[in-house]
Structure 1
Amino acid sequence: MQTGYYGATGGMVTQFNRLDIISHNLANLNTNGYKRDDVVIGDFLRMVQGHQDTLPIPDETRAAAKFINRTMTRVPVIAESYTDHSIGSMEHTENDLDFALKSPNMFFAVQTPNGVAYTRNGSFSISDDGYLVTKEGFHVLSRDGVDNEGGILMNPTMQITADANGNLSFKDLSNEGMADNVAGGSLAIVTFDNPKFLKKIGSSLYIEERKIPNDTSSEGLAGVNLVYNSGIVAQGFLEKSNVNAVLEMSSMIETNRLVDMYSKVMKTHMDELNSEAINKLAVRA
């Protein structure tokens, strides 16, 4: 068995997967509120050592030796994938329906057909029936409406203002005598105990992903918490993607070079080493 060939094959597959993630990051360079993904590359042996207690067979036995293929222990693999939740740059839009969150691990709650989801993309609009919605048409939830799917009813004929805690108010500028602020609800802003358990579902939306399927305990959940006095809402601003184009392009070049290197190793094993082994064995025979 050619251990080098299998090692190069595994390394190439790992770099292909990494390339997919880098390409996805670059594709969302201009997506509001997008958070870049990245991976941690380790090796099979390290992963086995980290989960030795959960192996289905005892360690230090012949069965274990067969279970852990020694030719594959140093093959590079993606040990973990994660999302970088650092804040992106802020863009001043002067649009009263644009909102940005100035702290990490803070999200707007929205109602989707599949339940409550969370987003940092605060580019909102008003639907035909007068509710504050995302660009996809999902209702932005109010602080009091998280549990009962309550949206925020807007008044497009009035000026909309929001304070740093997400409390909305309306003012009728057409009548100076009635130009008092009228309370209009509050944006539902949440934070998470374990944001690593958030799963992307597209359109800059996240849901809680349970670590253990069908587990009814709280372990493995992101742990959502409603925030009241956050002080981090900026009206008229949008948070841009936190993708660094230079960093991603450098990573893409590095990944392509590694793929090319692994390809040359595989070709050497197949075309040169195999040929040499066959010729020497044939001579000896």
Structure 2
Amino acid sequence: MKALYIASTGMSAQERNVEVISNNIANMRTTGFKRQRAEFQDLLYQQITRAGSQTSDQGTNLPAGVEIGSGVRTVATPRIMSQGSVEPTEKELDVAIRGEGFFIINMPDGTTAYTRDGSFDRSDQGTIVNSSGYELQPGITIPGTAKSVSISPDGLVEAVLANDSVPTQMGQLQLARFVNKAGLESLGDNLFGETAASGAPQIGTPNADGVGDLLEGYLEMSNVNSVTEIADLIAAQRAYEMNARVISGADEMMQSTTQLR
């Protein structure tokens, strides 16, 4: 009985849906996290009677045919790249992006990654790095004698050095933007990677070139909405239960047929 297989694809799809929702909820307090949603497509159809088939010698045709679907599959889990809320941290190297851009990170293997997580620190060499110790691009080093560090909305990094009263320019931050942000690959550690779907990065200066501006002393929080996720979870659970009931119903029908024999 095909109903068993069809309902099983529905249960599998809703199981994947719940996995996506659970990951969103688990990352509600992850800095710069972007929620995902599961998208589905119906599977191939069996054409039992094709619409438009001739039904008589006089040329009459069927207005509608008989098609039996094969179920559903998960086709994509795109990220929703909307802006998350911005919260103050009062830490001088914490930076939030307001706009389209991504911070550019130099990975240890020489590749480049991108992130919305602006929680930065100084390494033992004074280089600005992310929480995993990966260098922020372009490489900016803050001398150990610096009394304070500031980052302007334009991405200009300045430091007041010992015995100085006027800040000294240390470097200029740049941001990357993509034609299709949802096409970025999730690398973990709050990092994204470029793909053929995302397009090549377009590098620009903050507060110009359409990449957004920076807000020092703040961090962008996750864009996960707890109420939306709970509502989606309940809907997924109900859909799973209904598919399970279809399997139970099909099993009872098969049992009845067996008893007749």
TM-score higher than 0.5 here?
Answer: yes
Distance in 1 between the 2:239 and 2:28 partners? 24
Uncovered stretches (5+) of structure 1, i.e. residues with no partner: 47-69, 143-150, 211-219
Count, aligned residues? 234
Identity of aligned residues (%): 29
Q: Which has the higher helix share?
A: 1
Alignment of 1:216-231 (within 5 A): 220-230=197-207
Computed over aligned residues only, the root mean square deviation of the Cα atoms, in angstroms, reads 1.7
1:118 is the counterpart of 2:114: yes
- Cα pair 1:18 1:255 within 8 Å, conserved: yes
TM-score normalised by L of structure 1: 0.78
Distance in 2 between the 1:126 and 1:226 partners? 24
Distance in 2 between the 1:229 and 1:135 partners? 22
Distance in 1 between the 2:213 and 2:119 partners? 16
- Cα pair 1:43 1:79 within 8 Å, conserved: no
Specify the code of the residue in structure 1 equivalent to 2:190: S
Alignment of 1:95-174 (within 5 A): 95-103=91-99, 105-114=100-109, 115-142=111-138, 151-156=139-144, 157-172=146-161
Distance in 2 between the 1:187 and 1:194 partners? 22
1:255 is the counterpart of 2:236: yes
- 1:74: how far off? 4.8
Distance in 2 between the 1:222 and 1:155 partners? 37
Distance in 1 between the 2:216 and 2:206 partners? 16
1:183 is the counterpart of 2:183: no
Residues 95-134 of structure 1: CA distance to partner in whole angstroms, max 9, x if unpaired? 101000011x310001112311000000011111211111
Alignment of 1:31-50 (within 5 A): 31-45=30-44
- Cα pair 1:196 1:222 within 8 Å, conserved: no
Q: Which residue of 2 aligns with 1:80?
A: 76
Distance in 1 between the 2:73 and 2:141 partners? 49
- 1:257: how far off? 1.8
**TM superposition outliers: structure 1 runs of 4+ over 3 Å:** none
TM-score normalised by L of structure 2: 0.85
